[in-house]
């Protein structure tokens, strides 16, 4: 499901964009209490400064159907933030909205990037362990924050089911 701008606002309200532990949350704008109350109806218009070139990080996502999606984020944004803010078309991504309660933001990294990621916490590993198609270069996107050194990295969205058939997009043949 592609995300919308409103989802981006919800995400801004619910996360700091980086390294969330469900137990302790650093939250933009002090919405910590609300963030732990589950399906919150908060719309926090986070005022984001326009991206300067120093801040920007380009990330390429290889989607399940092989399509390459390229997007930009800011240093410190999580990969979940990048997917949501750019409305990337990845089915079912980020179901729990970055609260370490699912593994739908599972991503596979290149070797050299993976080696330099911040250490995984028990909480992340607990959820990652449940991900389908786990590899030794897997992490949860909601816990990985952009660094300058990640500029132009490529991450792969793993298949979600054993016999993943290509998503059939009917929009080109639709008017039958």
Partner 1 sequence: MSRAGGILRWRRASALRSSLPSGALAGERPPSGAVLFSGNKRLLSTAKTEPRICIVGSGPAGFYTAQHLLKHHKLAQVDIYEKLPVPFGLVRFGVAPDHPEVKNVINTFTQTAHSDRCSFYGNVTVGKDVTVEELQKAYHAVVLSYGADDNRTLGIPGEDLDGVYTARAFVGWYNGLPENRDLKPDLSSETAVVLGHGNVALDVARILLSPLEILQKTDITEDALTALARSKVKRVCLIGRRGPLQVAFTIKELREMINLPSARPFLDPADFKDLGEAVKDLPRPRKRLTELMAKTALEEPGEVVSGRWLSASKEWSLKFLCSPLEVLPTADGKQARAIRLAATRLEGSGDAAKAVPTGDTEDVMSGLILSSIGYRSLPIDPAVPFDPKRGVIPNQSGRVLGAPGLYCSGWVKRGPTGVIMTTMNDSFDTAQSVLEDLQSGALDFPDAKEGFGSVRSILQSRRIRPVSFSDWEKIDAAEVARGKLAGKPREKIVDPKEMLELIGP
- Residues forming the site for partner 1 (CB under 8 A): 1-2, 4, 6-7, 10, 22, 36-39, 41, 43, 91-92, 95-97, 99-104, 122-123, 125-127, 129-130, 132, 134, 160-161, 163, 165, 167-171, 173-176
At closest approach, how far in Å is the CB of 131 from partner 1?
Answer: 8
Q: Please count the residues of the chain.
A: 176
Who's near 72: CB < 8 A, 6+ residues apart? 51, 56, 57, 58, 59, 82, 86
Give the residue with the Cβ less far from partner 1, 40 or 154: 40
Q: Which is nearer to partner 1, 59 or 127 (CB)?
A: 127
Cβ-based nearer residue to partner 1, 81 or 150: 81
- Specify the pairing of strand 106-108 against strand 138-140: antiparallel
Judged by beta carbon, residue 30 or residue 39, the one nearer partner 1 is: 39
Closest CB to partner 1 among residues 55, 123: 123
What is the rounded CA–CA span in Å between residue 36 and residue 109?
30
At 33 the three-state DSSP class reads: helix
Residue 172 and residue 124 in contact, taking contact as beta carbons nearer than 8 Å:
no
Count other Cβ atoms within 10 Å, centred on residue 95. Answer: 13
The nearest distance, CB 132 to partner 1, in angstroms, is 7
43's CB contacts (< 8 A; 6+ apart) are 6, 9, 10, 13
């Amino acid at each position: 499901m592609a995300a919308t701008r409103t989802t981006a606002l919800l995400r801004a309200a619910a996360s700091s964009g980086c390294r969330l532990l469900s137990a302790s949350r650093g939250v933009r704008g002090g919405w910590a209490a609300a963030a732990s109350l589950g399906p919150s109806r908060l719309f926090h218009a986070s005022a984001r400064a326009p991206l300067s070139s120093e801040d920007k990080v380009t990330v390429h996502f290889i989607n399940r159907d092989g399509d390459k999606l390229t997007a930009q984020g800011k240093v410190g944004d999580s990969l979940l933030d990048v997917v949501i803010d750019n409305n990337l078309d990845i089915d079912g991504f980020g179901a729990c909205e970055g609260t370490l309660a699912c593994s739908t933001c599972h991503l596979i990294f290149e070797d050299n990037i993976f080696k330099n990621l911040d250490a995984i916490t028990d909480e992340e590993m607990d959820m990652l362990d449940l991900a389908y198609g786990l590899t030794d270069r897997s992490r949860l996107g909601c816990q990985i924050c952009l660094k300058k050194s990640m500029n132009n990295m490529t991450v792969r969205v793993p298949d979600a089911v054993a016999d993943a058939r290509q998503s059939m997009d009917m929009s080109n043949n639709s008017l039958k």
